[in-house]
A and B are shown apart, each in its own frame.
Chain A
Amino acid sequence: MYTPHTESDIAAMLAVTGAGSLEELVRVPDGVALKAPLDIPPGLPELELARKMNEYAARNGAVSCRSFLGAGAYRHYVPPVVMSLAMRGEFLTAYTPYQAEVSQGYLQAIYEWQTYICLLTGLDIANASVYDGATALAEAAIMAVNATGRRAILVSSAIHPNYRAVLRTYAEGMDLDVEELPLAADGTTDFRTLPARLADGRFAAVAVQSPNFFGAIDVPGESERALFASSGTVPIAVVAEALSLAALEAPGTWAQIAVGEAQSFGNPLAYGGPYVGFVAAKNEHVRRIPGRLVGRSLDNRGNTAYVLTLQAREQHIRREKATSNICTNQAHCALVATIYLAALGATGLERCATLNLERTHELAARVSTVPGFERAFSAPVFNEFVLRVPKPMTAASVLRELQTRNILGGVDLGRWYPDLADCILMNATELTTDADIDALASALMEISTARVPAGAARG
């Protein structure tokens, strides 16, 4: 109970209102009055409450396993300074900064977030954030539809399956067509059909993820970029692992809109949320970008002052004519990311990204020396890769075996790609230790020797 009222407070306050009792104040017509009290046990004192919640936490054995799970949600080292600042009550318990005069600090932090995203993506503008990477892609598709008047979206099948699923959910509601580009043999997008598909000017956008869902660096080449320009389609870059932006070519070199997930910047895994999506774009899309934007202006004394701006795009002003229905952004997750980026700086971020490359390549080298196991794709990767397991094993059977050894070996790609049911998506980050890699490699070796007699040819 978090109410400060004493019985005498209540009596005095009721007297001011003129009501005889609390029940009288809240009375509703008989037909809609609750018939019986809520069927919830009495409130717990904090000590017992903490015990009860700890019981839930104790039943998630996955957190004490060695983990190679990635696939759009990444574990990274977060310097303690990040949460120590972000959890300050002034940030945590602030409202949306509509009253700018008393929200200058938060507004400036979001302006800094917008700048960080622009610098990382190489684009002109960025919004104050959206729900997550998947909804960011859906919002980018809507931007492209509004920019071109076209009603179809072409997406690479190497975009995160959950992102494509969300795009389909939105597209179904908005009557948009979504088509997919297939996968090439090296684990990147197969663009060979692109000229034919773009010929009739049907597509509002072409979306490509890099690093893609399979970890591969997947960037449209010169000829594709020329086709985007000549066909008037909006190229959208998708980034599910924001840390890659610290090392890889900025998507602004080829995309008009870049969207993605910035969970990696200091936000915990938290079983899937809250995370933080970003939307960055070329200047020409500024009136179409969804959600909040913080701008820098002046106050009536000539001071620099920050304020939510271009609100004429938004639902609380435009109602049914708004560019999006978004009201909330992920301000606090974006703040965490901003503090993380400030603490690491260019130097720390580059080192972290390089460590991810180093650990991932070490892991890939080790597990592909296990007889029968091999990399499925040849394209260069950032911090994830695909390991093919020897027949008759499946990704699922290998992962089950690993789980009995307290190892979460990765994600079974058969879940979304039936012809990749013998493939595991594996991730390593700067947190992956030599001991983790040793344990996984030895476990795979055991599994391999148990199933595949020595010297047997791969089936």
Chain B
Amino acid sequence: MAESLIFELGQKGRANTYFANGKQAADYVPREHLRAELPLPDNSELDVIRHFTRLSQRTFSIDTGFYPLGSCTMKYNPRINDAMASLPGLRDLHPFAPDELAQGALAVMYDLERLLSGIFGMARFSLNPAAGAHAELTALLIAKAYFAKIGQSAERTTVIVPDSAHGTNPASAAMVGYNVVSLKSDERGRVGVDAIKAVLGADTAVCMMTNPNTLGLFEDHVQEIAQAVHAAGGLMYYDGANANALMGNSRPGDMGFDLMHLNLHKTFSIPHGGGGAGAGPIGVAEHLVEFLPVPVVRESDGVFSLDFDLPESIGTMRSFWSNFAHMVRALTYIYANGGDGLTRVSQLAVLNANYVRAQVKEFLTTPYDEPCRHEFVASAQELKRETGVRALDIAKALLDRGFHAPTIYFPLLVPECLMIEPTETESKETLDAFVAALREIVETARRDPQEILAAPVNTVVGRIDETRAARQPDLRWYPPADAAG
């Protein structure tokens, strides 16, 4: 049963009494500035509750099931984080509150910034960017400002991005006018030192990498790569999407990265909320601190303030200072775990991934035959050749069995790729059930591929006509009178 749109429910005048009925807008504003009608539905509160409750029940989430979603780190979102972000002293604070009456909020930002700097080995972090891709853009603007200051902006035109990188990396680089050079991974699934030396030159601005990379492999030559990039005059950028593998074990700053971002909604347990809001703090090494976006939080004799006065700053990236409610959540998470706890988080994330990998390789191809970090890739290429069942079909069959799909067809260099990241918050029993479901799907595919190709059948809708969605875009509801238009 489809759920009606909110616009198809309700009756004009079926209003909830939140506010007194008094004057008219026309008592205050000339009529020419007022709208003639407001064509929105009136619904009783009960109907609103039923509508959105039903929508929630048609939505998969961490709270309802397991996500083996590579590079997205779908770990448990502790409820204490939300409770702390909802404390009135933090939730109701206006961004233009005077610094002296916002010391607690500024302390949250300052303490989090210092903790992140320590965990990842950077000189400073800025909490300004709103998400990972936004942080990448911020970082590339910092790189541009840096090269302008040292008089090399004309020649530094190229950003090097390995073929295993996230799509946001080349998109962010292109957005600010950099040419993107894609670097092929070597047979070990890593960036080769010789390969990178071959593309480095006076035009190199930034090399964007993630480590472990999206194949779940540690870039073990990262220091030599960083040395080579630095020798060519370029900067090293760390994409923090995979930071959940590293805490307490290795730091991007020590690997030679000059810039990095974090996705607090991955590593630091902030709920994804169906695709945002995220948060993407950006960390920099000492020589780039002066270019950070404003404002930064200053501390002097235990008094905090927002500092907008950084002459070399790239400017500001957003309306207000940070996705502050998420900073509260991340700080709460760090205090809950402590240093030893965060170290353990990364160790167990790696254990869970290896535990699943060791079993999945019994029935699916796992390229790069070595232990992985927090995630790994499997390939359905062989299965597809034998049965016609693709990675996509396996993904849909998992939905039928109560699991979310892994990330599929990414990274692009592995054909029919399934990218699996269990995270540390899943129990052995959950992982066993997932492996059993995956094994059963592959066995069924060999026996009766049609059954898998028909999946999903247990979901509220079946496979969706995406071509129709793109060719005849239906992006909104129209009031009945306008529907013809």
**Contact at B466–A307, with CB atoms within 8 Å?**
yes
Contact A299 B463 (CB under 8 A): yes
Q: Is the CB of A105 within 8 A of B3?
A: yes
Q: Is B91 engaged at the interface, CB distance under 8 Å to the other chain?
A: yes
B51 interface contact, C-beta 8 A: yes
In the assembled complex, how far is the CB of residue A75 from the closest CB belonging to chain B, in whole angstroms? Answer: 7
Q: Does A388 contact B (CB under 8 A)?
A: no
Given the interface pairs A2-B75, A63-B93, A219-B33, the reply to whether A99 lies near B254 with Cβ below 8 Å is no
Partner of B29, one of A34, A58, A380: A380
Stretch at the interface among B185-193, B195-203, B338-346, B379-387: B338-346
Cβ proximity bits A161-199 to B, threshold 8 Å, 1 near / 0 not: 011011011001111000000000000000000000000
Instruction: Please choose the segment from B131-139, B229-237, B444-452 that sits at the chain A interface, where 4 or more of its residues have CB less than 8 A away.
Output: B131-139
Candidate in A2, A33, A358 with the most chain B CB atoms within 10 angstroms = A2
Contact A26 B350 (CB under 8 A): yes
Q: Is there contact, CB below 8 Å, between A33 and B249?
A: yes
Answer whether residue B305 sits at the interface, using C-beta atoms and an 8 A cutoff: no
| Interface magnitude class on chain B | 35 or more
Q: A81-B45, A217-B33, A295-B470 are in contact. Are A28 and B250 (CB under 8 A)?
A: yes
The contact string, 1 if C-beta is below 8 Å from chain B, for chain A 1-31, is: 1111100011011101111001101101101
Any B CB within 8 A of the CB of A384: no
Q: Which residue of A lies closest to B347 (CB)?
A: A22
Establish whether residues B468 and A49, one from each chain, have CB atoms under 8 Å apart when the complex forms. no
Q: Assuming A41-B339, A94-B59, A131-B130, is B462 touching A300 (CB within 8 A)?
A: yes
- Complex contact A332–B83 (CB within 8 A): no
Chain A residues contacting B175 (CB-CB under 8 Å) are: 173-174, 324-325
Interface centre among A1, A62, A87, A168 (most CB of B within 10 A): A62
Give the A interface residue count (CB, 8 A): 193
Q: How far is the CB of A267 from chain B (nearest CB, A)?
A: 9
Once the chains bind, are A320 and B174 in contact (CB under 8 Å)? yes
User: A15 to chain B: closest CB distance in Å?
Assistant: 10
Q: Given contacts A95-B404, A125-B476, A273-B321, is CB(A49)–CB(B275) below 8 Å? A: no
Tell me, yes or no, whether B157 is within 8 Å of chain A by CB.
no
Nearest opposing residue in chain B for A280, CB measure:
B476
Say whether B290 faces chain A, with CB atoms less than 8 Å apart.
no
Q: Across the interface, do B101 and A90 meet the contact criterion of CB distance under 8 Å? A: no
A residues less than 8 Å from B141 (CB atoms): 169, 172-173
CA distance in complex: A246, B424 (Å): 46
Cα distance A306–B254 when bound, in Å?
A: 46
Bound complex: CA of A110 vs CA of B473, how far in Å? 15
Chain B residues contacting A335 (CB-CB under 8 Å) are 273-274
**Complex Cα gap A313–B431 (Å):** 36
Q: Are B328 and A295 in contact (CB under 8 A)?
A: no
Measured in the bound complex, the distance between the Cα atoms of B172 and A246 in whole Å is 36
- CB pair A59–B320 under 8 Å, yes or no, is no
Closest residue on chain B to residue A162 by CB atoms: B319
A104 to B5, CA, bound (A): 12
Please indicate which of the listed interface residues A310, A324, A326, A328 has the most CB atoms of chain B within 10 Å of its own CB. A328
Say whether A295 contacts B474, CB under 8 Å: yes
In the complex, what residues of B have CB within 8 A of residue A129's CB? 276
In the assembly, what is the distance between CA of A59 and CA of B88, in Å?
11
B42 contacts across to A, CB distance below 8 A: 345-348
Identity of the chain B residue whose Cβ is nearest the Cβ of A287 in the assembled complex? B473
CA distance A40 to B72 in the complex (A): 25
Q: Check B56–A169 contact: CB distance below 8 A.
A: no
User: A352 to B475, Cβ gap below 8 A?
Assistant: no
Alpha-carbon distance A13/B460, docked complex (angstroms): 36
Are B22 and A380 in touch, CB under 8 angstroms?
no
Bound: A425/B70 CA distance, A: 48
CB distance from A40 to the nearest CB of B (A): 4
**Could you say which residues of chain A place their CB within 8 Å of the CB of B87?**
53-54, 57
Question: Given A42-B338, A93-B63, A172-B141 in contact, is the A132-B97 Cβ separation under 8 Å?
Answer: no
Are A270 and B130 in touch, CB under 8 angstroms? no
In the bound complex, CA of A153 to CA of B48 (Å): 42
Question: Quick one: closest B residue to A304, CB to CB?
Answer: B2
Among A32, A166, A316, A321, the residue within 8 A (CB) of B255 is A32
- Within 8 Å CB of A103, what residues of B? 58-60, 274
- The answer to the question of A85 belonging to the interface, with a C-beta cut-off of 8 Å to chain B, is yes
Jot down 8 A-B pairs with beta carbons below 8 A, ordered by A.
A40-B339, A43-B336, A62-B94, A173-B144, A297-B468, A299-B461, A320-B173, A320-B174
Q: Contacts A273-B130, A351-B21 given; 16 further ones with Cβ under 8 A?
A: A16-B355, A53-B328, A59-B103, A61-B101, A63-B92, A88-B52, A90-B64, A95-B275, A99-B404, A162-B316, A166-B316, A296-B475, A298-B465, A306-B464, A349-B38, A382-B29
Q: Which 10 A-B pairs have the closest CB atoms?
A: A272-B320, A332-B273, A57-B89, A59-B104, A274-B277, A89-B63, A105-B58, A38-B339, A43-B338, A105-B55
